[in-house]
Structure 1
Amino acid sequence: MSPNRRSRTAAGVLAALTAASLTGCGAAGSTAPDGGIVITYNTPAEWGNYGAVLQAFTDATGVRAPNDPKNSGQTFAALQAEKGSPVADVAYVGIAFADQLVQADVLEPYAPAGTEEVSADLRADDGAWTAVHTGTIAFIVNEAHLDGAPVPTSWADLLRPEYEGKVGYLDPTQAAVGYSAATAANLALGGTLSDWGPGLDYLGALKANGASTSAQTATAKVAQGEIPILIDTDFNGYRLRDEGSDVSVVIPEEGSLQVPYVVGLVKGAPNEENGRRLLDFYFSHEGQALFAEGYMRPVTGDLPEELADTTLPQEDYERAATIDYVEQGAQQQGFIELYQSEVGF
């Protein structure tokens, strides 16, 4: 089965999983006496499957859970600014921001049932944050807007003249996926977390070839052909494909990066109980199944076979590295300063 044409059995998989779990998702499955609300940061409806995830939580509990368009950097900034009077209940960020949130003292330790199954390197010892799913840095390519050029297969390809002005990525000084894309390119081209030279040289060359950056999720621009090649996460590419866009997902030949995303309860959350219930839901069977429906690799269990059959083969994913994510977070500010001075947009 072609990885760029989804099997319709995926919908059946989700239906079976959710039917089995609606009565067994812990606190999130009970009825909220007063309904109420839970405020999340960094949950755009179009990012992965967050629109469906939060709607399912509302349907199960009666608690309203509006989507939020922030990126990881904006979430971190908002939580710091609001520390004296918190607005959000639950935060979601790329793992590079996890330790920064801890150091800023904006998270309240809470470990939902099921998180004990998560790998120890993907959760804080005290439950302050836990990875909820992972993705992989990839190229999302709208071939119809490449003006006859082939689908690129490598980081080196993106520097070729035929892709001038056709490449974009999220701002690595703000968005976790942008910083992860920069990290992926740097490591694939011979850099390390303490040596950003290869990556900065590459991003400078990409800028000279007309690349653009966006502050927030830009997958709609791929569908429209405004950005024919977006360096983003694989799951966003598969979602576009399922929505009818003729896009390809490519993991570059030189290598890529696995990107965990984490969630945590905000310290002083105004709707703390609903925040806990939402986190319970994220790690329930139903929550993990819904994230999997958005092609996010669940942290408890595997991507269902029927979904995995519609993605790139496993050998492509073997090119995606795992790293010391705490160290990646510690190096982020230094990278930002170098990027702003040497690349900038």
Structure 2
Amino acid sequence: CTPGLEDVSIEELADFGLKGKKIGRGIISANAKLSDVFKLNYCSKSLHKIILLLSSGKFCELSELYKAAYEITYGEFIRSEQSFAVRVSRAGKHSFTSIDAEREIGQAVIDSYKKEKGVRLKVDLEEPDVLVRCYIRENKFWLGIDTTGESLHKRGYRIYEHPAPLRASIAHCLVRLAQWQPEESLYDPFCGSGTIPIEAALYANKIPNHWRWKSFRLWKLGFVDRKKFMEEKERIDAKVKSLELKLYGSDLFRKHIEGAKRNANNAGVSINFLQQDIKDAVFEHDIIVTNPPYGKRIGHTGKALYANKMLEKKLAEGSWKRAVVITAEKRNLESYSEKRQIMYGDLPTWIFLYKR
């Protein structure tokens, strides 16, 4: 999940009846059934990948990673005719590279499988059938099987890309942080490609990730009962709603508004979009959630300063109840009720929450 928003993802897990806990930066865990693995891949809005955790612990040397990986039995996850690869995500100072760790863990998987099944697994670094992932944070590691594939923040509905897009998973978290309820109006005055109001609509209507479900990696895992998962999918699809929501978005540029309309249409939701300068916006909605432009992402500091100044002015004047602003600019209203820092890629970013 997004580093700095682990608590929001844990809140989402609770919606699925799961008790989550933070175990690393951007990493949360929960005890779950196999049916939950499908549900999280299909329905989660804040998570990026769902990993079947096979081993975790502390280590000092690469040889300890080899030992941990070797002690796992892979027969129920990988069929003998399938290929595999290892991907390592590493943070901290180490005497080895991520490629070194991938090589060591990969050899451990091969050796363990050969001992268990008498077969040497095939390695395919480009398009493996099964992907083993290892997350390393300083001297801690988590090793498991990827059930997702491409990150879930890539929803599939976005056919128009804004030059500085907001990740859909972060947009969902912002809506949750605003404590928005479906009966309340929500407005994004810098809507860009429409991600924030679209994510609010998907959330309220319980619309799952039906653009991506066929590509989930879990379908290639040997233990998966496809029939049961498809029955679960039908139960989830039957709960989709079609609420009349008061969702609004505006932007200075016509091309962004047209793109936002296309994205909303592709997502199957209805949003009220308007081409409008922030100076003409009226903040009379219950909830304001927005991602104003900032110089580091749009490459134009002057425009970013103007946008943020106008946003401050409008927030001071408006009759809203709650507001959430995400920005890399530290300049903002001083009357925020909560401030938190997250990492948006490699960019330190702040989220400001306001209440009246």
TM-score by length of 2: 0.25
Which structure shows the bigger proportion of residues in helix conformation? 1
Which structure shows the bigger proportion of residues in strand conformation? 2
Higher relative contact order (CA 8 A, sep 6+): 1
